[in-house]
Every structure is written in C-alpha cells, then in structure tokens.
Structure 1
C-alpha cells in the first residue's frame, strides 16, 4: 500500500511538473534579415536566470532580451528584422531595475504556473517592465509607432518596495498589434501607498485582456488615443482607473471591487478644457465602491462634447454613487441594482445633436452574439492542456521561411496533416512565400511564433478583375470552425488581385476565432514595398503599378457566419518600419474588411483597419455585428490620387462609386470611407475612431482650428437599415461625421470634443 501511495505521488508530481508545450517544442524559427546565428527563442534560464525568489535575475533577463547585440533598442526607430520570444518558466524572478523590452519582442510566461516578476526592496526604474524608456526627455520610440509586441502570463509584484515610495508595475505606451494578456499586478494596500500597476501616457492602441490589479494607489493610469480593454479586475485599489486623456475608450467585462473610486475621468484637464474625450463601459460590475465613475463634465464644459459616457449592462452592488461629479454632485444614483443603459454627451437618434444625461433604452441584442446576457468574448486559447507532440511545425514540413523560397506546398501540406490528425500547426517564425492560394480546411488551428508571415507572391495574384485569396478559410458551403493566433498574412511585390484572407465557413455552432491574427501590406523587409520601391509621392496623382499591393484585406463571404475577431490589425503600411526615421511610403490596398455574410454573427473586438483605398470597414446585406473600438485611418496620400483610381468600382461586391456619389459635393469627397454600412440590421458598435489625418501627406487639414477638412465624409449609412447602434463615435479631419444616403446628417462643428469630434450615441431603430 505504501509503495502504491508513493507511486501515485510520483505520478502526480510528474503531471504537475509537465512543462508548457511552448517550452518543450523544437524552436527553429528563422529571421531572414537578422544575421547569421540570430536566435528568436530565448529561455531566460538558459541565460542564467534562477527564478528562485532570492537571486537577483535582472542581468540574466536583460541578456536574454538583448543578445546578440543587434536588437532594436536606444536610438533604433523600429524594425521587424530582429524578433524575439523571451520565455519565463514558472518561478519567482527578483528584479532590481527595469526590464526594457526591445522592439518586436514577446515576453511569454508559463500560463499553467505564471512566473512572478518581483521587485527587490531597493528597486530603481520606471516599471518592472518598461516598454518605452525615457533615455532623453522623450520616450525612445514614437509611441504611435510601437507595433508587434506582447507580454502575457505573468504576476508583477511591487510589494517589497515601500508603499510610500513611487513604483510602477509596467510602463507600456503602445499602439496597434500589441497586447498584454493574463497578468496580475500585486501592490501594497496600505493607506500611504503610491504604487501604480499599469502606466500608459501616450500611443495609438490597442487591446489588452485578462488583467487583475490588487492594491495600489491606482490600478491603471491611462492616456492613449483609444483602446479596447477586456476582462480587467480591480481589487482594493484606492482608484481603480485614472483616465489621463483619450479620444475614446471601451471597457468590456470590467470588474471593480472594494475600491474608493472606480474610474476617475475628471483628472484630465487643461485649464477649463476636459482632456478625456469619452468612454464606454459594458457588461461590467462595480462592487463595494464609494464612487463608481467620477466625471468633470458639466453643462458648460469645454469642448462641449467632451467627457461623454455610455454605460450598458452594469451590475452595481453596494455602490455609494454610480456616477458623481468631481465637486461631489450625484449624477447617477448607486446602490445595489442593474444599470441597463445610461449615458451623457451628444446623441443622434437618428437626428441631432441632442445634449443628454439620462437613462436610455438598452440595445436589443441578438442571441447569436451572446453568452448569457453578455456578449460572447472568449479569451485567446493558449492550449495549456496540450503537449509538444500535439503540434506540427511548418519548418519540419520543409518550409524554409526565408522570404525567397516558394513554400506553398510545404505550408499546404502541414495545414492539411494537422487538420486531419486534429493537431495544431506551429508556424515557426519566418517569411513564407506562397505562389498560390493556401486552402485552410475546417478544424484547423494555427499558432504563429513571433508574428510569422505568409506572403502571397507572383502571377496568381496579379489580376484585379479576377481576385484570388492568399489565405482561404474553407470553401463556400463548408461548415465548421478554425482558430488562428499570432501570425500575419501579407503580400510580396505587386499583387493587385490578392485578397489576403477570405473567410467562407458557416459556423454551425461555436464561432471560429482570430486572435492577434493580422494582415500587413508593405513597409517591412522582404515585402518589396519599401523606400527603394515605393517612397512617398507628394503633389502627384500618378500611380506606380509596382506599388499596388492588394485587392482586399479580409473578406467574409455571403455564405460565412460565426467569427470572433480580437486584436486584428488590417494595415496598409504608411511608413517603412525598417527606415531609420520611419520615412513614409505610398502603396495601394483596395479594400479593408468586407463582411457580406447573410447570417452574420461576427464580433470585432479591439481591431483596426487602416489606409485602404476605397474603405476600411464595409458591412453589406448582413446582420448581427458586434464591435468594440473600431479604428480607421484614411490613406495619407489621398486625394492625390483620390479613391477613383486604380481600383475600378466593382458592383458585384458593392464597391462605393465615388464618381456618382461625389457629384456636387464640395471638398475631398472621393476619399476612403472609414466605416460603410448598407442594407444591414442588428449592428452594435461600442466605440469607433475614424480618422483622416492627411491631405496628400500634409497634416494642416486635420485640427479643428484649421477646419477639420482633410476629407468631406468618412462614415456612410445606406439603404435599408434596422437596429443600428453606434456608441462613442470619434472622428478627426472630416467635415461630415455621418452621411446617410448621401445626406450629411452630423457635422464635426456640432460635436467638438478633445482633438476629435464625438457622438456618444447614434441610433436607427
């Protein structure tokens, strides 16, 4: 009996000691431009880190981050050439100074037993993790150009630092295609504590999810253009969230517990002007908290639309005041109850503007988008229960990933074998050139290493009149689901007929999932769309055929349905990431994200689509769309050329006809639409930032004081529309904020906010 007990104990310990599959899998990713011997995978214990809770591991971790010496650090603008995955096995790693993350770095901990980064008592630095250090008076990287980085699966602990000494868990000014996931911040809970868990002062985000903050003076102090933040939990913080400034913000699945203040959005002021533009909170809870939200907005606030709030499906439990003014006035009563829907700001229902501060009718949500009474928002799978043998490597299948070799057959082979054997494709880092469509069957699961790239190239993608998918998910009529995470689909060289991602699957049950799955068109080494090929052209409408890079970014076809998309950046590059000064380029991608699914059921959480020639988002003849903080930017070169050439309007896919629609319209009308919605129903957009910053590379047109006239129109609603709900819409650089059937119904002059104009609620029943 004793032997049996002993044997069971040994087996149990062996099961508990099982490593995360990412630690065990063979690492053979290649960085074609990183230099001979460049290593992508780095386990900090291979560089001397102990993780024993006693040894100072700072220098070992920095060696893992920085060796060899060509990582992008001080003085480097940006690069994709030297990616790295820095892995932390379970353990407690003592830190005495900041860990600076170089550009294009992923920090990944073991999700089955999250590693702890714990500050020593004498810690010095601006954050245990510093994502953008101040070597001078300015941060090292331009905060709006920080892309392709991630931290996930950690505990960050500042409790050794005296409570009254300033300390920050993470400094993370960031932009698109970045994420923080599954991180816990532990801080002292004393009355004199001044610690901050997460500090962001600038950037153009972005997405984060599954973060927990315990203790501290403030859990998160945040300033950024816009963000989607999902599943944040705050426990025993003095103030859970300080909004320093923003244009718009969406909080989804927020939980605030035992705090004095939940969200303080009154702190951002410049004299009498508010700096916090707006925020949306949905499917959230506030418990045992004195004041839920503190606002500085009054009837005479400036700008007039600043400080907008939209609340929907908020559970209160023992809350003193749900929404309070900084002067102590109660705006929305607290207690123990549900706030079905409430807002303040400017609204159009559908006419306006009306200034309001009141309860409103909650959205009529459709069941296909829901899990219970909340929107369905699954966390990114990390496959913690699988072992390394459950993954098939693209490199093992013969793919080179060198940016030159035709890897079509090898990539297709590994995807087919993985789907038939119910295994997961591991797309080792590399640039995988494909000369024909990659067909992805139902049941496929693909995980990339450090944003590996599949690049469509060659004759198959040249015909604009017969476009072809680079990455085709299912075929029309097929049913099933797929899961993709952490890789990119792109093109190499001219590809005017390339649809980067075509989605055809009908769900038939649980939706498919795209997490941190991006498309990137140009602007990086290996793309053949860089300064030497496509330097920006100012003052000319001439179009260089070798810089026509794609027909469409993402197409969800009529037969498709059921897709959850999270933190997907669909981008036509505006600048050369490898250039020492991020010099601008002129390249052309026709259409951004087009959803024409007749059954619908699409969720777009924390995504962006930028710089496409005709439109960035288009929803046509569809229904059941849920979106959080959609972000768009018009091409920087427009209106030279404008949106009429080089992509002829295709009525079969309901392209905009700018020749007809712009007849008689003043200003730059034939510019890309930000969001275009046609003949659709049950659309729920909780936050959108649609921006036009340039007129042929000149920014003079975008500030309000200069007329906000980079283009005439930016968001279009056309045809038969039912149950359309747009909450927290911010626009920049457009004369008309919303156009309906060719008539401009909302103007920026009537809805001045911070740097953007804002409408907190637009609704068509």
Structure 2
C-alpha cells in the first residue's frame, strides 16, 4: 500500500466514515434505447482508476465515461438515449489530459469525502473537465443546446501546473438543466499565476452553487445569457469573477476574501460599447479586497443600459473602493460598512429621473422569506448521512422503466413504501404512467441520472378536464413536507389533459418543501412519441395537430398550498428534437407553464425557467410573498401561427388570459404567450428576469434591433397588484417591456441593452 493510500484509509477509519450510499445501493437503471447491457451507473474504480494520488487515472476515467460504445461526444448534436452517472469514490485522481464528459452525463463524487481531480505537472488540455470541447474551431455542441448535465462534490486542483502556464479547472459552456455544485478549485497563489478555476464563454444557463475558489488569476471567467449563482467563496484570487458578457446575472451570498477585485463587469464590447448587460449582487460580503465591483457604466454608456448593476445587503470589511468605474474612478467609496442598496441603470415606477446612479431604497423583506443570511435558501439534499438501507428502489418495487410497461401501480407502491422514513431511489428509466401518482407528506424522492415519469393514455386526454400526473398532497392545504430531487416529468404521446405536477402541500415557511433539479419536458425526446417524425415544424401554417399537444399545464400550485423552495427547475416544451443529428425544430403544444394561485404564498424560485408554453410561461394570481432570482422564459417559436387563442379553451377558474378580448385594439402580435403575468397579488421580490421572444413563426428577423423588436406586442403584465419589486428586467422581441393594468409602462426603444432591453429597477405602489 502506498503511504498516501494508507493515510487516507487510516483517516477514514478514525472518523468512522462509510462509503456514500450511492456507491452501495444496487444499480438497476435501464436505458431503453441504448442497447442490451448498457450501464447507466459507472464507478470509475471499476474501470481501473486508483485514486491513490500517484497513478495517472486519465484513461480509466475516460473508459468509465465512454463505456457503451454509442455515447454522444465528437460530432454528436445531442441525445437523451445514453445517460450515464459516473461516480468517483474518495481519493486523489491524477489527470494528465482533459476529461470530456459525453452529452447527458452526471459526474458525482462522495460529498462527505470529496474526491480530488489533480492535474499532473505535464497536463495537456483545456480544463481538467472539458464540458464542451473544441475539436474544431467551434464548440462540439451548440452551447445553447447543452442540457441535462451536472457535476458535484469534487476538488479541482491545478497547483502542480506552473503558475505562469495557462490552466483551467472546468470548461463549462452549457445551458438549462445543468449545474455545478459543491466544488472547490485550488490554484497557485503566486503573483505570476494565470490559472482560471471556471471558464464559461457562452450558453443559456443556468445555475451553480456552493463553489469555492482559492488562488488563481481569476476564480471564474464567465460569459452566458443569464445565470443564478449562489454560495460562492473566493479566497486570494487576483480577480474573483471576470464577467466576459451577459444579458443578466444574479449573484446571491458571495464571499470575497483578500482579492484584488471582487467582480469585474467592465468588459468592453465592439465599437466602444459594453459587453455586460447587467448584474445583481445580493446578500454578499467583501473582505480585505481592493475593489468590490468594477464597472464600465457611465451616463453616456452605449448601449444605453449596458453595465447596469444593483447591490443589496452587501457587507464591506476593509475594502477601499466599493464600486470603481473604469474611466471614472471611485463611484462608491468603501471602508467597513454595509451597503443597503445602491445601483446604476434605468428605473420606472417612480417620479424620479429614469436614469439613476447612487443609493436606492432597499427592499423590505417579509420575514417569511428570510433565513440566517438574507433570503432563505437550501442546498440540494444529497442524504450523505444515510446508508444504502435507507433507500427504496423503484425497480425493486416492480417498476420496469422500459418506456412501454404501465408502471403506475408499481410506482405508487414504491412511493408509499418509501414514505415511512425512507427515500425513494428512482432508478434511471422511462416510467409510463396512466393515472395520477399521489406523493404524500413526508416523501423524499431522488432520481438516478434524470429518470422520466411520463403521462400517457386516455386518462390525460381531455383538454377540458385536466388531471394531475404527480399530485403532491392529495388535497389543497394538506400539511407536511416533501423533497424531490433530480428527475424529469414529461409525456408519452398526446396528453392534452395532463397537468404534469399539481402541488397541494402546505409546508411551514421555516421548513419548506423543496424541488431541486426536477424538470418538466414535453416532447422532443425518444419515448415521448413527439419527434420530427410526428411533429416536424410547419412554418407558415396555423394548423394544430392534436397528436402534438403534450400537456395542458406543466405545474399548478393550488390555493391552499404554501412553503415551496424551487431550485434549478426547467419547465420546457421542446422546440427541437434532442435526438436529431441537427436539432431540427418541431412544433409541440403545451397550454400553461407554472401557475401559482396560493393565497398563503411564500415561495422561492431560484434559477428557474419556463419556455414555449402557449398561454403563459409564469402566472401568479391571488398570491403573495414570492422570491425570484433570474427566471427566464421564451415565447413559442411557432406563434403567431397559430396564436394563443386556440386550441386551449379559456378557463375562468384558472384565471386564463382571454386574448380574444384583451387584444382588441392592440397593434401587432398581441395574442402571444405571456412571459410573466401577475394578477391580484402583492409582495414580489424579483432579482433578475429574462423574458424573450425570438421568433415570428420560426423567423428571427423580428427580434433584431433593426426590425424594431416586434415579435410580439407585450410580454409582462401586472394586473391589480401592489408592492411588486423587480431588479433587472430583460426583454427581447417585445415592443412593450412591461404592462400595468393594460397600459405600457416602458418600451424597448428607451432601454436598449447589449441585446435585450433592460429596466434595472421597477417598483409598483
């Protein structure tokens, strides 16, 4: 036994640490379209990796990643048919070349004893983990189509590479339904270091949390459309975060210690413009750092609102400059203090000048939404204190997960058997369900590699009488707590009467229920029976194919429900065929996105997205006390052919928008999906929003500045509301950015940003 291995073994015995339960449970995941014998779960040590701190484990790890022979890597556009969970037990794994995870791969380490991925001194490649390689001059995958991947519980170590040699810990240009969680990046602290911990140059994210960066020229160098990042720590970095470009970004609970610059959002664009749209920095701290935030924003900034920023509840400890302008010096002096709220950009909802730069009133936060350090949050549970015996397997309970067997009874039995202090382990598979599955209070469900629960059959066939697939709590107001993690809810064939998730549970605000990386996907995947063969786009046609109506509503939170924390949840009606070689567009119909009508309120939506729903993507009615960070929507690509008037009937009891009535006299494409609609509600705290309309019947001409951003007439509506607080509203393709009680508050022309239009501050009365 090598000495390092001996020490690790002794240390583990000394503290009584057992292997993580994921290593010990029986793995029975089935990938129905991957071929006989395909393994979903792979332990890298089963492929020869040693993790002893001296053996080069590169080849063994690559073998674990690529096992199966038909995994999606070079030249493959995307697929859901070959999933993999690649597990790393505790140890130190020497890496000499980039590890390239294929599409639809999860990398998971032991959370109690995080494995170390350590670069050798002669390391070659772009990132120890290269999540989207440059096999040519272009990224292997279109970064806005890289979905359903995650990496968690690792230490990434580049300290063996010379400080003056370029090195990157993780290269991660990805999009929705992806995450990096519980990862530490260790880099040289020498003055000459050019190492970067995390590099992301493009994509449409996204969510990350619980990352620590030690040393390096930059902890993270980031460019992407939009993101929520939470619980990040930067120690001894020259610059903590370099923002390369963005449309909008929300940072929550960041800590900077002994850095030169905390966050640099001053990146220049082309032709003397700025590249960064906006950033929100919330509940964060800077200590012994020279400059907290560096910005390029000025009163003559081009575009007009580029570089907008808001800081709220930001603590400084020995920070000489709080905000520094690249061309204007100190904009906000530092010291040791707390910045209640300060910002720059455009504002609406007050009589003050539209352009602002300076102190603003901080949001008054309801106690029910707050935790120990600002707004309440909770990292994804991984159940590291449990043993394999604490889990109940869906497959061992009789469910097949083969995409064709009716698994309704078997899954309900598994859910019931796990509700008594156990956790349901949803082995990978495609579970066909023909009736409602009831999830009682006390249930905990965790998926393996994003298994799919699919609504199928006549039970979900009536567009006028929707029925739930997953029903959390049998009746609205049932008390208790539920935890759902890492799985997908979708459809198999037409399901015009499917309400994919109905949330009835009322949870204590001090101990809310949670959904972490639970996604909804309607069509677009093998097994949904809604691919290019069935639902190929019909540009120029308003025909509605009933065989391509995949859902009535994605998620419904009922009137007496309350206390739900949602993190990194993506509700997506597919715009393209994920299995196709060229990601060919398809036309799928889903009636409604997320609808919350809880009169009790108290919900947290952290890094969520809802896309391509016919009537609306987010709707709130008769509710209150809502926290949101950087949520994102897209209008269906086919609209206005057909528009939002058909095929889903207006249901008054659901507060459906009546476009036939409300669009009378409104110019342009009015009867199109709302990105966000808030009705008869109060006390919203929105920290970042991106509502986008890119297409007019599959033609993107309408979303350009030259065309006048006229894909649709309006995209956000506030109706009879009070105390609505919005930081960082970004819209694309909508003539009106924001409507209040039927009148436009702001137009895109007055608020041009790097691509979207931006309002940095809006408050209603």
**TM-score > 0.5 by shorter chain:** yes
Paired residue for 1:451? 450
- 1:700 touches 1:706 (CA, 8 Å); kept in 2? yes
Rounded to whole Å, the distance in 2 between the matches of 1:126 and 1:342 is: 38
Aligned residue runs from structure 1 range 172-321, under 5 A: 172-321=172-321
- 2:348 touches 2:745 (CA, 8 Å); kept in 1? no
- 1:494 touches 1:547 (CA, 8 Å); kept in 2? yes
Q: Deviations over 1:92-118 (max 9, x none)?
A: 000001000100000000001000000
Alpha-carbon offset, residue 726 of structure 1: 0.6
Paired residue for 2:687? 686
Is 1:27 aligned to residue 27 of structure 2?
Answer: yes
Paired residue for 2:463? 464
Alpha-carbon offset, residue 706 of structure 1: 1.4
Is 1:440 aligned to residue 446 of structure 2?
Answer: no
Rounded to whole Å, the distance in 2 between the matches of 1:640 and 1:695 is: 8
Rounded to whole Å, the distance in 1 between the matches of 2:67 and 2:168 is: 26
Paired residue for 1:536? 537
Alpha-carbon offset, residue 12 of structure 1: 8.1
Rounded to whole Å, the distance in 1 between the matches of 2:56 and 2:327 is: 47
- 1:93 touches 1:115 (CA, 8 Å); kept in 2? yes
Alpha-carbon offset, residue 333 of structure 1: 1.1
Q: Deviations over 1:588-608 (max 9, x none)?
A: 000000000001010000010
Paired residue for 2:629? 628
Rounded to whole Å, the distance in 2 between the matches of 1:710 and 1:351 is: 30
Paired residue for 2:5? none
Rounded to whole Å, the distance in 2 between the matches of 1:22 and 1:426 is: 10
Alpha-carbon offset, residue 14 of structure 1: 7.7
Alpha-carbon offset, residue 86 of structure 1: 0.4
Paired residue for 2:56? 56
Rounded to whole Å, the distance in 2 between the matches of 1:323 and 1:562 is: 36
Paired residue for 1:517? 518
- 1:352 touches 1:746 (CA, 8 Å); kept in 2? no
Rounded to whole Å, the distance in 1 between the matches of 2:410 and 2:665 is: 54
- 1:277 touches 1:754 (CA, 8 Å); kept in 2? yes
Rounded to whole Å, the distance in 1 between the matches of 2:430 and 2:301 is: 52
Rounded to whole Å, the distance in 1 between the matches of 2:608 and 2:281 is: 17
> TM-score, normalization: structure 2?
0.98
Rounded to whole Å, the distance in 2 between the matches of 1:11 and 1:92 is: 14
Alpha-carbon offset, residue 353 of structure 1: 6.8
Paired residue for 1:615? 616
Aligned residue runs from structure 1 range 477-488, under 5 A: 477-488=477-488
Paired residue for 2:711? 710
Q: Secondary structure at the match of 1:695?
A: coil
Rounded to whole Å, the distance in 2 between the matches of 1:14 and 1:195 is: 35
- 1:688 touches 1:729 (CA, 8 Å); kept in 2? yes
Rounded to whole Å, the distance in 2 between the matches of 1:30 and 1:16 is: 34
Paired residue for 1:3? none
Paired residue for 1:493? 493
Q: Secondary structure at the match of 2:485?
A: strand
Rounded to whole Å, the distance in 2 between the matches of 1:763 and 1:531 is: 44
Paired residue for 1:588? 589
Q: Deviations over 1:59-111 (max 9, x none)?
A: 00000000121000000000000000000000000000100010000000000
Q: Secondary structure at the match of 2:289?
A: strand
- 1:250 touches 1:686 (CA, 8 Å); kept in 2? yes
Rounded to whole Å, the distance in 1 between the matches of 2:86 and 2:703 is: 40
Q: Secondary structure at the match of 2:723?
A: strand
- 1:608 touches 1:630 (CA, 8 Å); kept in 2? yes
Rounded to whole Å, the distance in 2 between the matches of 1:338 and 1:520 is: 42
Rounded to whole Å, the distance in 2 between the matches of 1:352 and 1:307 is: 20
Q: Secondary structure at the match of 1:224?
A: strand
Q: Secondary structure at the match of 2:683?
A: strand
**Stretch deviating more after TM superposition (631-640 or 363-372):** 363-372
Rounded to whole Å, the distance in 2 between the matches of 1:261 and 1:322 is: 10
Q: Secondary structure at the match of 2:447?
A: strand
**Count of matched residue pairs:** 755
- Shift of the 723–205 alpha-carbon distance from structure 1 to 2, 3 Å rule, reads same
Rounded to whole Å, the distance in 2 between the matches of 1:603 and 1:235 is: 29
- Shift of the 541–319 alpha-carbon distance from structure 1 to 2, 3 Å rule, reads same
Alpha-carbon offset, residue 373 of structure 1: 5.2
Paired residue for 1:666? 667
Rounded to whole Å, the distance in 1 between the matches of 2:488 and 2:388 is: 22
Alpha-carbon offset, residue 297 of structure 1: 1.1
Alpha-carbon offset, residue 328 of structure 1: 5.5
Rounded to whole Å, the distance in 2 between the matches of 1:350 and 1:510 is: 36
Alpha-carbon offset, residue 349 of structure 1: 2.1
Q: Secondary structure at the match of 1:246?
A: strand
Rounded to whole Å, the distance in 2 between the matches of 1:85 and 1:498 is: 30
Rounded to whole Å, the distance in 2 between the matches of 1:608 and 1:329 is: 37
Paired residue for 1:78? 78
Rounded to whole Å, the distance in 2 between the matches of 1:315 and 1:353 is: 28
**CA RMSD, 1 decimal:** 1.2
> TM-score, normalization: structure 1?
0.98
Alpha-carbon offset, residue 271 of structure 1: 2.8
- 1:243 touches 1:268 (CA, 8 Å); kept in 2? no
Alpha-carbon offset, residue 267 of structure 1: 2.1
Rounded to whole Å, the distance in 2 between the matches of 1:484 and 1:53 is: 36
Q: Deviations over 1:522-547 (max 9, x none)?
A: 00000011111100011111100111
Is 1:42 aligned to residue 64 of structure 2?
Answer: no
Rounded to whole Å, the distance in 2 between the matches of 1:727 and 1:654 is: 26
- Shift of the 285–14 alpha-carbon distance from structure 1 to 2, 3 Å rule, reads closer
Paired residue for 1:103? 103
Paired residue for 1:748? 748
- 1:184 touches 1:213 (CA, 8 Å); kept in 2? yes
Paired residue for 2:653? 652
Alpha-carbon offset, residue 367 of structure 1: 1.1
Q: Deviations over 1:492-525 (max 9, x none)?
A: 1111110000000111351000000111100000
- Shift of the 353–520 alpha-carbon distance from structure 1 to 2, 3 Å rule, reads farther
- 1:517 touches 1:567 (CA, 8 Å); kept in 2? yes
- Shift of the 463–127 alpha-carbon distance from structure 1 to 2, 3 Å rule, reads same
Alpha-carbon offset, residue 326 of structure 1: 1.2
Rounded to whole Å, the distance in 1 between the matches of 2:210 and 2:12 is: 29
Alpha-carbon offset, residue 405 of structure 1: 0.3
